[in-house]
Chains A and B, each alone.
Chain A
Amino acid sequence: MKKIISNWQASFVAAIVIFLAAYPLLGPSSYLKHLFILFFIWSVVAAYWNLLNGYVGINSLGNIGFLAIGGYTSGILALRFGLSPLITIPIGGVVTGLLVTLFLGFPALRLSGIYIALLTLIFADSLPSILTQTRDITGGGMGLHEIPPFFPGMEKVHTYYICFVFFLIAMLILYKVIHSKTGLAFVAMRDSENLANTLGINRYQERLKVFAISSFMTGIAGGFYVHSLGDISPTTLSIEPFLLALAMIELGGIGTFFGPILGAGVIVFGNEFLRLAGTLRLTLLGALICGVILFYPGGIMQLVEELGTRIKVLFNRKKVTE
């Protein structure tokens, strides 16, 4: 069986994790810590979006909606009822999971391809109008503000570590899912649904499962999002975050484990550094995405794999000449 993590990749991943764990000790500015927090949350969103799109081949365009439902649920409960985020975040995840499985999972059993994309897009697109018409509860177009943090009186560095741990756990769960029986069924259905059914895979059950997993985890990410940043508004559901999140998956490498994480890194940090370019920011970002897709259709992961094989060849040559 081809291992997803070869040795050099494993050491690289370990180095990155150690770096991320030690990073706040280097005394970075609050702004940089903020960027890392965004990176952790968007990585989770992109990775679980990729589970639907890349691993199962269900073209979902609604995952930002999952994030918003989780975020709003947790935010409202914490703000209006004074509940601890430790309780409201899991509730947000469960609510998201239930709503999405009910409104998207079940109809999606009867749809395929582009029609699922349309359904999920409409789902996410209907949320802003629901939000503006429920001003009393959701804050309408202004959104929710001063949402309490995870603990009273916490600092940025605490938020950093909470989100870091969440990121690690979410990725561990994703890794376990992909390498489980369910993960095998997901990839089999993506490659050939016909053969998968013929070999005993229950299409309905597996499709509901993936919607439930993806929406639950994205809803949880929504909870971490609002309690880290302190606010959420319908702009979260606007076109820019949506396109940026899709770009993370495409840029990093759709259907790969590390792709969306790398993509989230490039987009979150790239987007901020490109603010120096002013109005050209989105143009440059778009050009970068076009360039990667043109030359590396498999995303950054394809580049990484190619570099990996070249390094291996180089090492082998050295051994031979010695």
Chain B
Amino acid sequence: MLETRELSRSFGKLAALSNVSFSVDKGEVFGIAGPNGAGKSTLFNVITGNYAPTSGKVFFCGNDITGKKPYQICQLGIGRTFQIPTTFHTLSVYDNIKVGSTFGGYKTRPPEEILEFLNISQLSALPARNLDLYSTKLTMLGAVLATNCQLLMLDEPMAGFSIVEINRFIEVLQRINKEWGVTIVIIEHLLDILIGLTERMLILSNGSLLYLGPSSEVTQDRKVVEVYIGAAHKEEFHAES
């Protein structure tokens, strides 16, 4: 469904992303992890048209979408959320979602359906600036879902959540994936959550691909352990496991 080929992006001399190739299948929940500054958000921004790639190509459903504008990418069926919780703060929750329904392209979902699906109908009339972190992120997610995206890209959606909120949010993601058949690509710092949620994942380090494969085997990978736990503790880690 989504495929990148040798995708690179540099900022001056800094190679934020170099030669990243991977593909995501339809209906999959795919994870992306990596230390701070590894290029996870840059990868998202290049795919969704916020940045143009320095080289390489992005394909969606077999079509080349490299260099398209964010609004065009949205109308093609790729939705994304931001790491920084973003809403239209002067608009009500309903109107926030309505923006997605109105401009999201072909066959969008009505706000009522989204409110009900996310179970936030009671927040409908509240201005978005009055929401707490969890509701803000649900509203942002709702607005993106209203565009009727086939591929949903989430940039650290659970940062700052409590354990209870994390569990509730994971449930929501699983329902989006199962009930609506939406393919999900998710960036997440916490490996255990990602391992539980996804079948496959990739790990970025300094802009390059460090690991691409089944999520269940990620902790067995020597390079991943080195980056995540540090070379000094490698022996200790392997002795324990």
Contacts and interface: CB of A to CB of B under 8 A. Distances in A.
A202 B75 CA distance: 10
A7 interface: no
Nearest to B111: A1
Interface residues of B, number: 33
Contacts of A279: none
B89 A200 contact: no
B74 A200 contact: yes
Interface in B143-181: 143-144, 146-147
Contact of A201 (B86, B99, B127): B99
A185 B82 CA distance: 19
Given A1-B125, A194-B86, A199 B91 contact: no
B94 interface: yes
A185 B69 CA distance: 17
Nearest to A199: B100
A306 interface: no
Contacts of A1: 92, 94-95, 125
* Highest count of chain A CB atoms <10 Å: which of B86, B87, B103, B147: B103
B134 interface: no
Contacts of A194: 50, 82, 86
A184 interface: yes
Nearest to B128: A191
B88 A201 contact: no
Contacts of B70: 197-198
Contacts of A195: 82, 86-88, 140, 143
A201 B105 CA distance: 9
A318 interface: no
Contacts of A198: 48, 70-71, 74, 79-80, 82, 144
Contacts of B146: 199
Interface in A141-197: 181, 184-185, 187-188, 190-192, 194-197
A281 B144 CA distance: 52
Contact of B144 (A184, A187, A197, A199): A199
A196 B74 CA distance: 10
A181 B92 CA distance: 15
Interface residues of A, number: 21
Contact of A187 (B86, B90, B147): B90
Contacts of B82: 194-195, 198
A199 B94 contact: no
Interface string A198-220: 11111100000000000000000
A199 B74 contact: yes
A187 B91 contact: yes
Contacts, number: 80
Given A184-B98, A184-B99, A191-B88, A197 B143 contact: no
B100 A200 contact: yes
A191 B143 CA distance: 14
A200 B95 contact: no
B104 interface: yes
A298 to B, nearest CB: 12
Nearest to B102: A181
B71 A197 contact: yes
Interface in A251-291: 255
Given A187-B88, A191-B88, A196 B99 contact: yes
Interface string A1-39: 110000000000000000000000000000000000000
Nearest to A202: B71
Contacts of B75: 200
Contacts of B94: 1
A199 B92 contact: no
Contacts of B140: 195
Nearest to A2: B92
A188 B99 contact: yes
Nearest to A189: B88
Contacts of B48: 198
A322 B92 CA distance: 35
Contact of B71 (A184, A192, A201, A255): A201
Interface string B104-145: 110000000000000000000101000000000000100110
B90 A191 contact: yes
Interface of B: 48, 50, 69-71, 74-75, 79-80, 82, 86-92, 94-95, 98-100, 102-105, 125, 127, 140, 143-144, 146-147
Given A187-B88, A187-B90, A196-B99, 4 more contacts: A1-B95, A185-B103, A199-B143, A200-B75
Interface of A: 1-2, 181, 184-185, 187-188, 190-192, 194-203, 255
20 contacts: A1-B94, A1-B95, A2-B92, A2-B125, A181-B102, A181-B103, A184-B95, A184-B99, A185-B102, A191-B87, A191-B91, A192-B87, A194-B82, A196-B88, A198-B48, A199-B99, A199-B100, A200-B71, A200-B103, A202-B71
